[in-house]
Structure 1
């Protein structure tokens, strides 16, 4: 009889080995590797039963207390934030800001209405779903832009939006969770705000605090590490120093009830833009990129294996309808509404409708949505919250379909629409 220890590590080792095969398969088929990872997860999970559903949920949400999903978000956001271009960010500040505030809220609300309409769930449960799928995914978006030629203002806006809307989506999710499970330890800080100044002012104050405080801390840490390295020169071990600091940021802020992701993005952006460009910093960036790639691979593989045959059969119509609704209704409504405000109020060079349409059709969901989707059900079981137990499964299955279909569709159609809508096209 196989011990529990051996069983778990057999599955962990198999996940690592299986993920590696996505690259040669995607190269042979000349398609992006992310759909291959998801498909491998489905084949070896619900179809063949080699990777169990319960173990996939455990590995994603509870392994090492926080799960590889949450730890993966930390590594991925830190690595991707190295590539933030402050020149483009300054130039496109208003479009990014409006997409990450008004845009993400509109997306969440419309998706909430769709989820409630399809499942009969209360609107607050729908809002949890909407918050989960509201952020776009830099890990899925950047590989798409590497395969096409597109104006850097457009790509910079969409990548900037995707980097900064991840923490905002998490904050929206926390606010939604506070309405469903106000006694949960996960929302104690928000509950403290709302009990003192009311639910609406509390939500605004909580949102502002969760963005500004960690972002300022992250900036200070980034410059401190650069300054410290000038005098002590950590050489190759700058990799270990920064990885340790990022995990420490995450640990302290999570324990304090503050979202750590603005701090992690700020630290990565400062380190990526203001280091002295020595070989050791290049090695640090390369190491973090490889580690990020590994976590992405594991998370997308688990996305496929977390489903069951029953999920695939029972929720297929709902999942497809939700995915198409998010891609072709929620996202376009959010982009057109948000950028119309910018055109009227702030922009000297208004964004035309063709570019708006392109931006509205390019916004795949990914890692953050996958990781958040398992939390309602796990929290419902842990704290015996009936409404989360009842709707937790439809939430994570619905999110899975949105992520899978958005990545596959947008990987396929983006090279075709870019030339028609932006006058540029695929890279040769």
Structure 2
């Protein structure tokens, strides 16, 4: 049962949270008192009810697993499903007594293999990997998830710690993960290992790449012991540099390869045998989720959730059927072409779902949607900027003084402009910034 706690902190479930049948116990990290990331066994109290975040490593779901998530959302929550900036799924509006039953549904679907590691299974992967001539990430993804769930040390990773598996195109390498593997060759005969956002990467054999990633995460935990850092970027500069020096020589020769600064999500539409649809503001109604699930079941039985709140159906979808499938998805309200005005528009949950939000930013984002094109824009109801993108984007944050708009370029931010209580001026200012 959820205890009465502030909205900013998750509330751990009591024994009502069922452990998966592997017998592992839901042990807490020694630092877990300060880690506010929710999971499925540790819910977060929001203004619209409890929230569960279901980790989906690599964003890969079978149609049956997608069906199970829809069942859980309808049985325990508000029926909607929300995609996150790490390709995970959030269920909102949950009742405070649902912990055990929810865990049971997810365990039966294969979505909760270890209670002790459920918040540590943060792995993003290139969503088009293996579909357009690029190396497949599947063997790395399966092995890394298995290794993480089998490591006692990994159970103490923060829910914020992130692994990324990049097929070489640089898409998820832009996300600033704590440990990134980048494929070299087709198939991936070797990998480049990046620690945090360092420009130097280290070459490791492809077959041993997942284990190298896990060992890097375990080495981070040792380095973070004194500082209490949750992520590589949170380490003191000297500790972070020493971490890279420690991991690097043990991995292989250094290669200078700066991290890409601009994200390249797959454009909505056809991609070889696959089709891709983006989700406006990451929010799917039950009908939309059911349609996506049915489409995936019809063509191959799999779907992939992207870190840009999109969905890839790998297929293969026969070429004559692709246009028909995309048309049906578009009629449901999903984005199936890059010229949609919703492309690149994102927002946090905002008011009334979050008590910390100062405004209904989803409604404001919808009212300010303009012509298609331009830089991504993300609307945040407060300074926390939950779920914001990476790379180059327009940052719109609600403050007590108005909406603050700034242009973000990686680690740099231009001087902001503030618009006060004028929806027309706000929409115009956002459009100008995006252009």
TM interval, short-chain normalised: under 0.3
TM-score by length of 2: 0.27
- Which structure is higher in strand share? 2
- Which structure is higher in helix share? 1
Of structures 1 and 2, the one with the larger relative CO (CA 8 A, separation 6+) is: 1
